Amino acid sequence: MTDQELREQICLIGQLLHRNRWIDGAGGNISARLDDNRFLATPSGLAKGFMQPDHLIVVDPAGKRVDVPTSANRYLRPTSEIAMHLACYDKRPDVGGVVHAHPPAVVALTAAGIDLSRYLIPEVVITLGVVSSLPYSAPGSPDLRHAIEGAAFQSDALILALHGSLTLGTTVWDAYLRLENLDFAAQVAFMTHQLGGLREPLSSQQIQQLMAIRERIGLLRPGDSEILRRHADNNDV
């Protein structure tokens, strides 16, 4: 994919985030790895649903801008949350794209203290594996980056308490699709909780079968063994 095509794809993702109401105002941010030392990122303070390819900014691993400003982005700055993205790229050489959004169902579950891992459905186990839920840290803070560094190693989808989500992929499009998976799972959990809670959780044997599928299609992550442990703990409650 050329640089221009990647820029256009990030703008498309921004439009989809806006259309699906997973961001509001100038919220959310998107990035993609260009090479080991350069990352393409959305700017701060710009509505992601209305970006143009020339608005995007290139930064180095320290978050410093390294591109030549254009008339379109001369007065723009890299997203203030670029540290979250860089933490993922630093810990995961396989990651080529990161998407941060504020899906209302995800945020609502954390606000209500509802653990998504109690509402496992086949799609979550196969496509996402372990969904790491991180305690609240101020957006852009060193504490949040530190928490993400630990969680990104084992997870492709992270829930940030009262804040939103962070999804990772080998490409930025893969990261976006994982956001769709996560939002679907959160909406199912939200509705299930409204209907009285989970009546028949997946059994350990069923989860093992789903994990075997995940491994067969090459999606297994180091932390996926936690799925069975958490499931057993939840069923003991």
Q: Is the pLDDT of residue 236 over 60?
A: no
Residue 140: per-residue pLDDT: 86
The β-bridge relationship of strands 157-160 and 164-169 is antiparallel
pLDDT tens per residue, range 183-219:
999 999 999 999 998 888 888 889 989 999 999 999 9
Q: Give the mean pLDDT of 211-235.
A: 80
Higher-confidence residue: 226 or 131? 131
22 pLDDT more than 90: yes
Residues 6+ apart with CB under 8 A from 30: 10, 13, 14, 17, 41, 42, 48, 97, 98, 99, 100, 172
Mean pLDDT of the chain: 92
User: What is the per-residue pLDDT across 56-108, written as a single tens digit (0 to 9) for each?
Assistant: 999 999 999 999 999 999 999 999 999 999 999 999 999 999 999 999 999 99
Instruction: Read off the pLDDT band of 122 (50, 70, 90).
Output: very high
pLDDT at residue 235 in the model: 59
pLDDT at 182 over 70: yes
Query: 108-112, long-range: CB within 8 Å, 24+ apart, which pairs?
Result: 108/190, 109/159, 109/186, 109/189, 109/190, 110/159, 110/160, 110/161, 110/162, 110/163, 111/162, 112/193
pLDDT of 222: 83
Residue 237 has pLDDT above 70, yes or no: no
